[in-house]
Amino acid sequence: MNRANYAGFWRRAAALVVDSVLLFTLMLFGLVAWIAISGEAHSWDSAMMAWAFYSSLLAALLLKIVLDAKYQGTPGLHLLDCRLLDARSGRNISLGQSLLRCLAILVSVLPLLLGLIWILWDRRKQAWHDKLVHSVVIREDDALKSLAELSEESW
């Protein structure tokens, strides 16, 4: 039997880097466009810039929630040939699961990143936030297999 091909720590970390670069680029272009349209530039420590920064982070979080639920992951995951699935059904995660997954990332990050490092030795390469909402990140090659096929494969 073939073994399930779950996405490991380094692949997922690379996807996060890709997503971060894309997000930063979009935020920068948005800022430049806003300055060009409004004709006003504010200092970096102004209330207006803080509002723009936090608003764009909130928009990015909402976009991540929708992309994870509807398209099985962010552009970074897709560029690295990964898909985010419900661990029980093998289908897309629900919008509610995606929202909870984003909130649960704090559980993985706050105790010295231990919940993220957990991916290194977990059998299904799940971080704590994945375990909490029953999600898995798999390599594209296995995206077309059913969850039953994945669970039958032994390590």
Going by C-alpha positions, the residue among 25, 3, 23, 26 that lies closest to residue 15 is 23
Mean per-residue pLDDT of the chain: 89
Q: What is the pLDDT of residues 110-148, one digit of tens each?
A: 999 999 999 999 999 999 999 999 999 999 875 556 777
Average pLDDT over residues 39-49: 79
- pLDDT at res. 32: 86
- pLDDT at res. 81: 93
Q: What is the pLDDT of residues 90-101, one digit of tens each?
A: 999 999 999 999
Of 52 and 62, more confident: 62
DSSP code at position 6: B
Q: In the numeric block, which tokens belong to residue 139?
A: 């390599």
- pLDDT at res. 151: 72
Examine the pLDDT at 4 and tell me if it is beyond 80: no
Share of the chain above pLDDT 70, in %: 91
- pLDDT at res. 3: 56
DSSP line for 74-135: -HHHHHTTEEEEETTTSSPPPHHHHHHHHHHHHHHHTTTTHHHHGGGT-TT---HHHHHHTE
